[in-house]
């Protein structure tokens, strides 16, 4: 049986951070297992956006910290998929647990943090 990790958080996606859309906590969801990371957000019960990253599409997962609110941390998924936005950030109130679980699934995390603004 394949183990899956679930967490609610916030999500930003787009071309670059400054040209991106966002969904605040708790509208975004992350599901991860040893094969993929699935991100989605819903707004009042409607599925608005969904991104499924297979492990072989992920080039790097990088830690990120919010500039005005440094207690908010997240991950930026750098990938080689042409059909997904170039910039994808999931932020979490349980960053340590998220990183620990992603590592347990075999994902490599670059924890040298990139800064971002909401």
Q: List, for residues 55-106, the tens digit of each pLDDT value.
A: 999 999 999 887 666 678 999 999 999 999 999 999 998 999 999 999 999 9
Specify burial of residue 57 (Cβ count, 10 A radius: 0-12, 13-18, 19+): middle
What are the extents of the domains in the chain? 5-116
Alpha carbons within 13 angstroms on the beta-carbon side of residue 59 total 9
**Strands (DSSP E) along 1-118, which ranges?**
5-16, 19-32, 36-43, 46-54, 58-66, 73-79, 87-92, 109-116
pTM of this prediction? Answer: 0.87
Average per-residue pLDDT for the chain: 87
Strands 58-66 and 109-116: parallel
1 pLDDT above the threshold of 50: no
* Residue 17, pLDDT score: 63
CA distance 100 to 102: 6
Domain topology for 5-116 = PH-domain like (2.30.29)
């Amino acid at each position: 049986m394949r183990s899956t990790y679930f967490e609610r958080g916030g999500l930003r996606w787009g071309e670059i951070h400054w040209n991106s859309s966002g969904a605040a906590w708790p509208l975004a969801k992350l599901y991860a297992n040893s094969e993929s990371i699935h991100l989605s957000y819903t707004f009042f019960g409607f599925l608005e956006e969904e991104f499924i990253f297979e492990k072989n599409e992920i080039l790097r997962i990088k830690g990120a910290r919010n500039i005005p609110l440094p207690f908010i941390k997240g991950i930026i998924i750098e990938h080689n998929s042409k059909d997904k936005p170039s910039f994808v950030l999931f932020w979490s109130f349980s960053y340590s647990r998220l990183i620990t679980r992603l590592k347990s699934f075999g994902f490599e995390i670059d924890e040298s943090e990139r800064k971002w603004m909401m």
